[in-house]
Structure 1
């Protein structure tokens, strides 16, 4: 017993040591990232740009510059170093706007953001007009503006583009390329507009973007990352005023409260539908395709909204919303799974074991085929009696007519024909009498045969008994 307790204690100790080591590694990586941002920020705030004479010595050909610029559309960490060397070898003074357009069109992943920041920092330190042009181009992802701007018709692509652009803008602010924090005011105002709450897809997209903004820029909201307080000096140098922090936090909190209200309303509708579906299942054993599709649609919408709201709550260091549970309804279309409130739901089983049982109780026969209409009240008894009397009168009338016809026929037949018929009848009676006598004789013969066979059987039995008696008897001493 003591040995098991010692092993358990050692296991817990190893887990704690492993967790501590992971925390140390994570903090070391975060420190390196902060050091890189600090160095980039100092270089970007005080750039030492090359003069015009130096730029003239670089390759200014259209062909070469175009080839290098096109690579800016596919920025990633693997190609970052090679691309930066190529950018240092060309003179992009006349191609800054083209370079910015390719960067804005790039489909950046989260892992590519830091590579894009370093490339943008290089171009910012070499060309003075790069940063204003870049900021203006990136903001078009949130404010397309004129109809001539290229807008992606796919909503998912637009949402992903907004997310990567917002991350890039915030990182550019951290490294000093975007110098004014008020750049984000219009973005947050647009994302937290209550008008967007009318559209479900837009609401979910905005909640996701706001959660990303809150996680990445906790210092914009006056929040601190847990375990990273030692590196607050870097963020304190960003010069985010208290008014801006109040604005950002209030805007996100208000939008969160509005989203929670919608979530609770949708949850109430979902519970009511679940209760109604449970009643239908108990009565009919199954739901119609229309009810199932409607329920699945509402449930999917609720689950997606719940995830988005919970994500924003976590980013704001708030407790996720807890939906009220009346304890009387269950989810009715899927197998067991966890509900939003953490309770376990299970599917309501059908009341029929198989299709034959269901058909026996639901496929009822048509009683009109098996039961007379009188018993079902479909015909009046009086009418039936009247019809019966009419049929009886008709039958009697027909019988009377038949008798009269027969009498008339006999009266019209000549006498010699009647005598012939009488002779024929007497002959037939004689034949019948003879046949009856022959049948009686055959029966008597059969009875005599049965008696003889019985006598033979008795005689054989007696002979067998005599034979058995003559056999010697043996006795055995015990």
Structure 2
């Protein structure tokens, strides 16, 4: 593990120590170190100091890089986060002159070619290649980002060009990167169409069944995350390569999250059932508007009137009996009232 804060102390120790017997171990440790992007410039200074003091340092360094960067086709065992930093580290080693172009460029060209050609369908190496474009694209591919070009045009300035490689070699690398971007755009359009078709199917399922299965929800989430990853990568490449972003056709299918919210809240703000729950107006009317059966069955009215009359007569008779019972109770109480005592 190397950090920028260690540089001064390491340089101080190197000035008082003879590392001839340990220079191969030092080269291996630098290549295997877990670095951050902000540490690259500091570790390059350390490599320059070792290269200045020890003539065989560059040889040992190249040997270790060949072990790390010799990636074969269909080899996916590498750690992407480390390779993303290592590729820039190695490119800066060449750029600083520690390795000559003859020594270093074949390995750099090989690893770039393999990473791109093996990934034109799944595009799992987007971050690795995009990082190379951002940090090393100017020197190795002659890239000028869209933002820099627009600023130069606005202020009528000429963007200086790197002369690290010849124009022909830069054009070859740039063609390789643009081919990868073309395949990425095709992949983005394909998954965009797939997600739209999936959302249309979900809309039909919601209209007929009213809910989505857990499996379809998980599938929809996976499609959205995959599309977002491709969309972010395509936007990044479009900027650094100054290439047009592909036009994504819009579809009338609603988003899965929107559909979910409609299922969870089937009632609208005014308390009515949302009309999108029914296939058509006829089905909606069948469930929402109940007809008055009296309009279709006239006899029902007569039966109802007779029943109401019968109920009324029974109620009146019950009331009359209740009044008679009350009168009888009063008379009985008057008869049983105790007599006053006899006078003495």
**TM-score clears 0.5:** yes
Q: Indicate the residue corresponding to 2:139 in structure 1.
A: 219
Q: Indicate the residue corresponding to 1:204 in structure 2.
A: 124
Give the CA deviation at 1:215.
Answer: 1.5
| Residue from 135, 143, 154 that aligns with 2:62 | 135
SS in 2 for 1:78: helix
TM-score, scaled relative to structure 2 = 0.68
TM-score, scaled relative to structure 1 = 0.50
Give the CA deviation at 1:110.
Answer: 0.8
Q: Indicate the residue corresponding to 1:288 in structure 2.
A: 213
Map residues 50-89 of structure 1 onto 2, 5 A cutoff.
74-89=1-16
| Residue from 179, 186, 194 that aligns with 2:100 | 179
Cα–Cα, structure 1 residues 231 and 269, in superposed 2: closer, same or farther, change >3 Å? closer
Contact 2:143 2:174 in 1 (8 A): no
Give the CA deviation at 1:183.
Answer: 4.1
Contact 1:285 1:352 in 2 (8 A): no
Map residues 19-418 of structure 1 onto 2, 5 A cutoff.
74-143=1-70, 158-180=79-101, 181-193=105-117, 195-198=118-121, 200=122, 203-205=123-125, 207-217=126-136, 218-224=138-144, 226=148, 232=160, 235-236=162-163, 238=164, 240-326=165-251, 328-332=252-256, 334=257, 348-350=261-263, 352=266
**Coordinate RMSD, CA, aligned:** 3.2
Off by >3 Å, runs of 4+ in structure 1: 227-233
What are the Cα deviations for residues 14-50 of structure 1, in whole angstroms up to 9, with x where unaligned? xxxxxxxxxxxxxxxxxxxxxxxxxxxxxxxxxxxxx
Cα distance in structure 1, aligned partners of 2:9 and 2:158: 35
Cα–Cα, structure 1 residues 322 and 132, in superposed 2: closer, same or farther, change >3 Å? farther
Aligned residues: 262
SS in 1 for 2:35: coil
Cα distance in structure 2, aligned partners of 1:116 and 1:303: 34
What are the Cα deviations for residues 353-383 of structure 1, in whole angstroms up to 9, with x where unaligned? 5xxx9xxxxxxxxxxxxxxxxxxxxxxxxxx
Contact 2:20 2:54 in 1 (8 A): yes
Q: Which has the higher contact order (CA 8 A, sep 6+)?
A: 2
Give the CA deviation at 1:320.
Answer: 2.9
Cα distance in structure 2, aligned partners of 1:224 and 1:297: 34
- Segments of structure 2 that go 5 or more residues without pairing to the other structure are 268-272, 274-323, 335-344
What are the Cα deviations for residues 298-318 of structure 1, in whole angstroms up to 9, with x where unaligned? 221121122122212211122
SS in 1 for 2:120: helix
What are the Cα deviations for residues 190-214 of structure 1, in whole angstroms up to 9, with x where unaligned? 1221x3334x3xx222x22221122
Cα distance in structure 2, aligned partners of 1:95 and 1:230: 48
Give the CA deviation at 1:98.
Answer: 0.8
Cα–Cα, structure 1 residues 109 and 152, in superposed 2: closer, same or farther, change >3 Å? farther
